[in-house]
Amino acid sequence: MNNGKKYQQDLLEGILSADENISLMEVCGTHTMAIAKSGLRQILPPHIKLLSGPGCPVCVTSQGDIDAIIELVQNEDIILVTFGDMMRVPGTRSSLQEERSQGSDVRVAYSPLDALRIARENPQKEVIFLGIGFETTTPAVGLTVQQAREEGVKNFSVFSVHKMVPPALELIFSDPEIQVDGLICPGHVSAVIGVEPYEILAQKYNRPCVITGFETLDILEGIYMLIKQKQKRQARAEIQYRRVVKPEGNPVAREVIARFFEAVPARWRGLGVIPDSGLKLRDEYADLDARKKFNITEMEEVPIKGCACGEVLMGKIMPAECPLFGRGCTPLQPVGPCMVSHEGSCAAYYRFTPAK
Ligand code: SF4
């Protein structure tokens, strides 16, 4: 047995030797996918539970925001540019994919700079970039705003649905209905925000947090570190993913976010409005803010009938406990966003959980 396999075996034995009940939540959609793909959940004993959390940005985009964007793209003078995962996310009556099939100009891009290029190429149209993601993706959008300003591109704007992770984690820890003993914290987001926000949460709620990488060995080690803390009655923030995450995070990326965006209350699908969890462009960039430019007011949130995405995203139920899972709702015909995004918990469970 090589060293890696031996270490993996030791970690697994350490985890399996835990004898008290423990529920851990993986916050990040990439972890959800990695855990589902590795089959880890199936080899853990029933008293060690892995719950999935609200860390898929597509899944938590509010239906009201999707509805507002859908209303915008019905204007034939508008080109909307977004990431591929957003296309099939259901709004109240439609999705961007359906709107495109009806003739709206909705384009998929890999970077906000693609949207700026499209704006330069189409000066007679208004080009809106749908800015989605957590602290990891926001700096690139801020820098694109700066470039648009410097180049004087007047027909470009950003519809920001960017969100920040720590306020959602605070909501989870403070909800007495959610039984979470510790958090498997996101690697990519933490590379920007560092360890401090988790230290504050760990101390305030007396529950451990471990910033974890995405390989199976990383995840096993992260779970082991959380279990060890629980056994020692500790509640600290630790970094397992040391090869990528520095304790101080990335101050340059945080400065870029702070330069272009400010924190505002934001509605998360299924979770409600979370104070200071959204990022809106600062007033000095109002001319590049699509919400201001097109006078968009918040739309009412109409729940999707039968969809339990909110409870899944809060770790209150497992995806298979939704009555529509695998019946009315599948990756080919998704009802809720958790089945649409490739990082959504329902899609991950559907793809990788063996049928009983
Ligand atoms: Fe929503 Fe479908 Fe998941 Fe149910 S199975 S929670 S409807 S995405």
pLDDT at 181: 96
Quick check: 354 pLDDT over 90?
Answer: no
User: How many angstroms is it from 267 CA to the middle of ligand 1?
Assistant: 19
pLDDT at 45 over 70: yes
Predicted confidence (pLDDT) at residue 245 exceeds the cutoff of 90: yes
Give every CB contact of residue 148 below 8 A, 6+ residues apart in sequence.
116, 119, 156, 288
- Residue to probe by mutation, ligand 1, list 338, 343, 353, most atoms within 8 Å of CB: 338
Task: Provide the angle, in degrees to the nearest 10, between the axes of the packed helices 29-38 and 345-352.
Answer: 10
**Residue 234: C-alpha distances to residues 229, 243, 246 (Å):** 5, 24, 22
- Pick the residue whose CA is nearest to atom 5 on ligand 1: 325
* Ligand 1 pocket check for 89: Cβ under 6 Å: no
Query: Measuring CA to CA, how many Å separate 41 from each of 38, 148, 203, 289?
Result: 8, 46, 28, 42
Across the range 67-71, mean pLDDT stands at 94
Q: Locate the ligand 1 atom nearest the alpha carbon of residue 340 and give its number.
A: 8
**Residue 17: predicted pLDDT:** 84
**How close is the Cα of 131 to the center of ligand 1, in Å?**
24
Lowest mean pLDDT among 4-18, 241-255, 297-311, 326-340: 297-311
pLDDT the model gives residue 356: 57
Report the chain's mean pLDDT, rounded to a whole number: 93
Whether residue 308 has its Cβ less than 6 Å from ligand 1: yes
- 81 ligand 1 Cβ < 6 A: no
Where does the pLDDT of residue 301 fall: very low under 50, low under 70, confident under 90, or very high at 90 and above?
confident
What pLDDT, on the 0 to 100 scale, is given for residue 355?
A: 63
Domains of the chain with bracketed CATH: 59-164+250-293 (3.40.50.11740)
For ligand 1, atom 8: residue with the closest CA: 336
Residue range 118-166, pLDDT digits in tens: 999 999 999 999 999 999 999 999 999 999 999 999 999 999 999 999 9
Amino acid at 187: G
Average pLDDT for 324-341: 90
pLDDT of residue 292: 96
How high is the pLDDT of residue 1? 56
Ligand 1 nearest atom to the CA of residue 322, by list position: 4
Predicted confidence (pLDDT) per residue in 196-234, tens digit: 999 999 999 999 999 999 999 999 999 999 999 999 999
> What number of other Cβ atoms are within 10 A of residue 125's Cβ?
16
User: Does the C-beta of 324 come closer than 6 Å to ligand 1?
Assistant: yes
Range 88-99 average pLDDT: 91
Question: Cα(260) to centroid of ligand 1, in Å?
Answer: 35
